[in-house]
Amino acid sequence: MERRGEAIDEEQGLIGRRPGSGAAGVAEVTPVRRTWPTVDGPHGLSEDESHAYARSYFYWGFALLPFLWAVNCCYFWPVLRKSHPSPRVRPYVMRSAIGFTIFAVVLATWSLTFIIGGERLFGPIWNDLVMYNLADKLGLTGWT
């Protein structure tokens, strides 16, 4: 009866008093709230792994990969929302969130300028930058 319970204990550390089996266990459990640093809950990472992953995702995000910052925020959502206190993971997740917000704002600004401004703003170079013209010119869709 203890398989899943033991697995959780092994992954996350001791939760609290382990209940006995059967009906006698009902009265023995102390109400202990247990949260996990990852959004996957008990199927996710442990504290140490979370720290390692949060750090590596944060640093790799600088290699023109802001999606990794988004993945960081999504993955450690409980840490971001402060429902799971984790002083080691939180700085990385916060910085990833800020980084992703800045990237999103910059990209949205550029993209909207491109779409709304169009040829009026950019001149003839707009036709060279827009994707469907570029695809036709380079023959990227020609093979299908």
Partner 1 sequence: MARENPNPNPTVLESLGEEIIRIVAPVSACMLLVVLLVTALSSDGGGGRGFSSIVTIAYSEDASDSIWDKLKDALGYSLVFVVLITLLTFLLVLLFYLRCTRFLKSYMAFSSFVVLGFLGGEVLLLLISRFYLLIDVVTFSLLLFNFSVVGVMAVFLSKVPILVNQGYLVIIGVLVAYWFTLLPEWTTWALLIAMSLYDLAAVLLPVGPLKLLVELAISRDEELPALVYEARPVEQHRPVVGRRLWRERRDLVINSSSNLIGTEAGGMTSQHTSVVVAEEGPSVSTVTDPLLQHQPGMDRGEDAEGIGLGSSGAIKLGLGDFIFYSVLVGRAALYDFMTVYACYLAIMAGLGVTLLLLAVYRKALPALPVSIALGILFYLLTRASLEMFIVQCSTNLLMF
What is the contact surface with partner 1 in residues (CB under 8 A)? 1-8, 10-11, 15-16, 19, 25-34, 38-45, 49, 53, 56, 64-68, 71, 74-75, 107, 110-111, 114-115, 118, 129-132, 134-136, 140-144
Closest to partner 1 by CB, 45 vs 79, is 45
Distance, CA of 10 to CA of 42 (rounded, Å) = 11
In angstroms, give the least distance from the CB of 88 to partner 1: 17
Distance, CA of 94 to CA of 118 (rounded, Å) = 36
Q: Using CB atoms within 10 A of its CB, is residue 71 exposed (0-12), middle (13-18) or buried (19+)?
A: middle
Closest to partner 1 by CB, 34 vs 91, is 34
Closest to partner 1 by CB, 9 vs 90, is 9
Let me know: does 28 contact 19? Beta carbons within 8 Å: yes
